[in-house]
Amino acid sequence: MKTQNYGLFHLVLRACKQYLQVSKGWALLEHGISILHALSWTGIIIATQRLFDAVTQQPEFRRIAMALGLLVVLSVLQQILAGADNFIFTYVSYGNSGKFMAEFQRKLGRIPAERFEDPNFLNEVEKSRECLEYEALGTFTATCLQLVTYYAVFFISVGWFLFRLSPLLPLVIIVAFIPALLGLFAQARIFADLEEESAPLRRRLESYEDAIADRAYFKETRLLGGFHYFQNLFAQTLLAVTEKTWQTQRKAFVVRLGLSCFSFIGLGVSVLLLSRATMSGAISIGAFAAVFAGLTQIFSLMSEVVTTRFSEASEYVGQIGDYYRLLDLPEITGSTDIPNFTKGVVAENVTFSYPGRENPAVSNINLKIENGETVAIVGENGAGKSTLVRLLTGLYTPSEGKVTVGGLDTKHTNPQTLFSQTSGVFQRYQRYKETLQDNVAISDIRKPIVETEITNALNEANFDLSDIALDTMLAPEFDGIDISGGQWQRLAIARGLYRTHQFIILDEPTAAIDPIEESRIYRQFEQLAADKCALIVTHRLGSAKLADRIIVMANGEIVDSGTHDQLLERPGKYAEMWHEQSKWY
């Protein structure tokens, strides 16, 4: 997948703009308080100088009391501002984290579906998700803004005060930290490389963890003895991730150690300059005491900026770049015209290749499904049946050729418009951890929930409602119940029946249902498909007999078509598969 490279300055500007947009007035309040908080430090240093001067020069109780009172007021104000700053920062950070994730999910919904077949793209998704889940984006942006509204204000105001005492003081402090800033750019590159290498490994970790603990894998993994196999793979992959992370952190530690040593050297030189200026009478004892006390805070903040804030930000630069590259990927676009299914569904010279694969999954397909016609697609595993269905529904767009659904070119039409009148039941249906009612109604959230319609759909799918209510939670982990595989499959069929449609697809939906029940469902489907475009994908050729026309696929191409009787009358792939299957009945 080709990706855009972004410079650090671009990332900072874009992240800050996004942060301010989603935070609205709270961000302005937060960083306004940060400015006051930064200025309060300078105020305390000045107040400290006045207090020491009042004590050491011409001691007067009134003067000392006023200086002490000013210092106390500023110290209390500083604590209030620090608390308010921290509270609002936490509030904004949590809120923004959810908003960033919501935007990320909306973006994924607007990316063409075929992208999700590309491993490189999935790596980008993983890195972007990590960036948001671990709040890298929020931390990075908050750091960038605090550098301007807190740290920069602090150093400018304190630097102005130090410059008035001795022009060399702020210069020494700045010089002490220049190498540290330069070193962080190298550190940013180190962590960007780590992110690039670790993302595929983290995806493997998730898959191994699912195989070990997820309910969908649990029975087979334990029964067939695969638990220890996946446990070993998980441990090996975790060790590889840990080793890469340790090597990177070790390099970063050496950089940080060198930066800290240089900073302490700068602190020592600053104290020597300050002492020399005091002994020569250039500054007062009060100024010496105030600045000496303040130097610790100054170098503490400088160290915090360089070794903590900048260091954290440099770790996140790679993730932030991945996140924005994903946000900038081309989105699904096109007209929102309503399809007219009297024009049917047409594929003209269609070829499609999955990302990163040389051989096309389907090649030179020409097919038309008339309105009111039921077409069955049959073929062995890997023949290209499911890929063709995704192309005919507009889920994928062809690499070559053209698909029109209801007269609309799928390349130039928003898929949501095409999907609005399409329904289907698929082999890999979802078992949503929701109520029975919601599991059906989720297929058409556009219309208000009417219990009688849901009940009718369940009854049409022959779902057993004798001992289960519509509000029953279908998830044992949420104090609900589980149902059998056959009941789940009937529920999936009810979901497809409930949705308003002009184009309906059945893609191997009856694997967990006995042949008698399967025959009943297909006969019912025949009635539901009347006067509509209908598509059946099946391995069981007996189910294809009800179709008006049967399309036979092999190696991504249509090798034959006709009715069941026509295909049996001539030698070919269909007759061969029919005779092979008939041996089992």
Q: Which residues contact 533 (CB under 8 A, 6 or more apart)?
A: 341, 344, 345, 369, 370, 371, 372, 373, 502, 503, 504
Q: Does one domain contain both 289 and 437?
A: no
Instruction: Give the pLDDT confidence of 14-27 residue by residue, as tens digits.
Output: 888 888 888 877 87
Let me know if residue 292 belongs to a domain.
yes
The answer to whether the beta carbons of residues 95 and 21 sit under 8 Å apart is: no
Let me know if residue 283 belongs to a domain.
yes
Q: Does one domain contain both 159 and 254?
A: yes
pLDDT at residue 2 tops 50: no
The answer to whether the beta carbons of residues 403 and 394 sit under 8 Å apart is: yes
* Mean pLDDT score of the chain: 80
Residue 294 exposed, middle or buried by CB count within 10 Å (0-12, 13-18, 19+): buried
Instruction: Give the pLDDT confidence of 119-157 residue by residue, as tens digits.
Output: 888 888 888 888 887 778 887 888 788 888 888 888 888
In the chain, what is the greatest distance between 2 CA atoms, to the nearest angstrom? 119
The answer to whether the beta carbons of residues 408 and 344 sit under 8 Å apart is: no
Q: Does one domain contain both 84 and 36?
A: yes
pLDDT, mean of residues 525-538: 78
Q: Does one domain contain both 289 and 212?
A: yes
Let me know if residue 248 belongs to a domain.
yes
Q: Does one domain contain both 301 and 359?
A: no
Q: Does one domain contain both 323 and 461?
A: no
CATH (domain of 119):
1.20.1560.10
Helices (DSSP H) in 328-441: which residue ranges? 385-393, 415-419, 436-441
Q: Which of 448, 468, 497 is the last residue of a domain?
A: 497
Q: Which of 444, 471, 497 is the last residue of a domain?
A: 497
- For the chain, the straight-line distance linking the first and the last C-alpha, in angstroms and rounded, comes to 48
Which one has a higher pLDDT value, 264 or 141?
141
107-111, 373-377, 470-474: least confidently modelled range:
107-111
Angle, helices 168-213 vs 311-327, to 10°: value is: 60
Closest CA to 14 of 137, 136, 131: 137
Let me know if residue 3 belongs to a domain.
no
Map tokens 């039941």 to a residue: 425
Residue 534's φ and ψ, nearest 5 degrees, are -140, 145
Q: Which of 497, 516, 534 is the last residue of a domain?
A: 497
Q: Which helix (H) or strand (E) holds 364?
A: strand 362-369
In the prediction, which pLDDT does 400 show? 93
Let me know if residue 549 belongs to a domain.
yes
Q: Does one domain contain both 323 and 353?
A: no
The most confident of the ranges 25-34, 371-380, 438-447 is 371-380
Note the pTM of the prediction, 2 decimals. 0.66
The residues that bridge with 503 in the sheet, in sequence order, are: 422, 533
Let me know if residue 426 belongs to a domain.
no
Percent of the chain with pLDDT over 70: 83
The answer to whether the beta carbons of residues 338 and 419 sit under 8 Å apart is: no
The answer to whether the beta carbons of residues 303 and 260 sit under 8 Å apart is: yes
In the prediction, which pLDDT does 311 show? 64
Which one has a higher pLDDT value, 4 or 168?
168
94-103, 372-381, 382-391, 553-562: least confidently modelled range:
94-103
CATH (domain of 383):
3.40.50.300
The answer to whether the beta carbons of residues 504 and 535 sit under 8 Å apart is: yes
By residue range, what is the domain housing residue 240? 8-327
pLDDT band of residue 1 (cuts 50, 70, 90) is very low
pLDDT at residue 37 tops 60: yes
Q: Does one domain contain both 356 and 294?
A: no
Q: Does one domain contain both 439 and 412?
A: no
pLDDT at residue 455 tops 60: yes
- Helix (H, G, I), strand (E, B), or coil: what is residue 350? strand
pLDDT at residue 260 tops 60: yes
Instruction: Give the pLDDT confidence of 484-513 residue by residue, as tens digits.
Output: 877 888 888 888 888 877 888 887 765 555
Q: Does one domain contain both 121 and 234?
A: yes
Percent of the chain with pLDDT over 90: 12
Q: What string of DSSP letters covers 30-54?
A: HHHHHHHHHHHHHHHHHHHHHHHHH
Q: Does one domain contain both 195 and 319?
A: yes
Let me know if residue 239 belongs to a domain.
yes
Q: Does one domain contain both 456 and 533?
A: no
pLDDT band of residue 10 (cuts 50, 70, 90) is confident
Closest CA to 177 of 259, 119, 254, 243: 259
Q: CA 495, CA 190: separation in Å to the nearest integer? A: 50
- Helix (H, G, I), strand (E, B), or coil: what is residue 83? helix
In the prediction, which pLDDT does 308 show? 66
211-225, 310-324, 405-419: least confidently modelled range:
211-225
pLDDT, mean of residues 570-580: 85
In the prediction, which pLDDT does 3 show? 45
Angle at the Cα of 295 from the Cα atoms of 289 and 298, rounded to 5 degrees:
145
Let me know if residue 228 belongs to a domain.
yes
Tally of domains within the chain: 3
Instruction: Give the pLDDT confidence of 316-356 residue by residue, as tens digits.
Output: 777 888 888 888 888 878 888 888 888 999 999 999 998 87
Instruction: Give the pLDDT confidence of 49-75 residue by residue, as tens digits.
Output: 888 888 877 778 888 888 889 889 988
In the prediction, which pLDDT does 549 show? 93
Instruction: Give the pLDDT confidence of 149-201 residue by residue, as tens digits.
Output: 888 888 888 888 877 777 776 776 666 666 655 665 666 666 666 666 777 77
pLDDT at residue 223 tops 70: no
In the prediction, which pLDDT does 572 show? 86
Q: CA 347, CA 561: separation in Å to the nearest integer? A: 15
